[in-house]
A = this chain, B = another copy of it.
Amino acid sequence: MYKLAKRATMAQNSELAAMFKMLEEPGIISFSGGFPDPKWYLDEVKQIEAEIMANKKDEALSYGPTPGLTPFREFLAERLCGEGIATKLENIMITHGSLQGLDLVCRIFLDEGDHVIIESPTYIGAILTIQPYGVNFVGIPVDDDGMQVEALEETMSELAKKGITPKFIYTIPSFQNPTGTMMSLARRRDLVRVAQRYGVPIVEDHAYGELKFEGELLPTLAELGGIENVIHLGTLSKIFSPGVRLGWLVAHPSIIEKAVYFKQGMDQCSNSMGQLLALEYGRRGLIEKQIAVTRSALKEKASVTLENLQKLMPEGTSFTVPQGGFYTWVSVPGDFDSVKALGRAVKEFKVAYVAGPSFYHDRRGPNQMRICFSLPDPEIIPEGIRRLAAAVKAWES
């Protein structure tokens, strides 16, 4: 075996890969991967694709510019302005999903030994993206109002005493992955204030931000703090299609310039067909239409999920009550070990979840698990939760 990099000797096959495997198990009801329900994809996509093939085949099959196709960037910039984020063309680039946006941020900011603030728990993908840069994670706890900004402020103060300035604060303020919680407006304002006071940029992951079940959205951190202080990551994965692998990075032009430079060495450009398709889907108002369909479907699925968790899980189980997004975060009492119980849950009880420790950089939370309600039909969810409860009880017995 040839000599590998230090980061590769530490790499282990993670839960993300396992999630895909689990879905192949016959008859399984999956609450694992954060997949949109294919029923939400609108049929109009077929007609648009036919038009692209008829009129823009050559563009769809050719290289595009590294920052993304200009009309697509313009469309997204305008849409972001409508959300209150003052975005010009020079502030936005297209990425290969929001994860590549985070990877670009890492390339721009992280040297080995740096400190990065994350929520604890946080998105597995973010841990996987940041970890190879050889940094120190600093986890800030999350409660029903999102990241505990008071705890952040204390941590920042302690780090400052040691002369440490973290390179950035990564947060998913709306319908957080994995907890499903929503950062309150007061905390959003506090977070921006604390970050600015300590001179640390915020990286806002907005993947689920538009998927509130009902009612008005809270302002984004990018709106509150300005894009010179808040790098905003968006994606089509939850509001149109994850298969097109398209996201965007919104930031100050000096950051976009560096990100474009690094993307040239990562993959040169994002896929052109997906950009043309998404642009036309968006222009025809279909992203908004799909969001409406998605919100209402999620509302129903969440409601059925929570109701059945309440009814069927062992006494003492607690779970978050999301106002949007894909997830609820379940804590089981006693010595339940979500990592060890997963294999049997899948094989014997035919139900899948993601184990809590996957979402902690320090592998805490053995008695926790993420339940994703986006994929199963509402009719099947009660049976899924029944199986989940049975799997948990089987551990207890």
Contacts and interface: CB of A to CB of B under 8 A. Distances in A.
Contacts of A186: none
A337 to B, nearest CB: 23
Contacts of A269: 245
Contacts of A268: 16, 97, 99, 125, 245
Nearest to A201: B2
Interface in A1-18: 1-8, 11-14, 16-17
A14 to B, nearest CB: 6
A294 to B, nearest CB: 13
Interface stretch (A150-158, A216-224, A257-265, A348-356): A257-265
Contacts of A272: 243
A33 interface: yes
B107 A5 contact: yes
Contact of A267 (B6, B65, B100): B100
A237 B63 CA distance: 9
A45 interface: yes
A62 interface: yes
A3 B265 contact: no
Interface string A266-277: 111111111000
Interface of A: 1-8, 11-14, 16-17, 20, 33, 35-36, 38, 41, 43, 45-46, 49-50, 53-54, 57-66, 96-97, 99-100, 103, 107-112, 114, 125, 128-132, 165, 167-168, 199-201, 237, 240-245, 254, 257-258, 260-262, 264-274
Smallest CB-CB A-B distances: 9 pairs: A128-B265, A243-B272, A38-B58, A61-B241, A129-B265, A46-B53, A96-B267, A245-B271, A61-B243
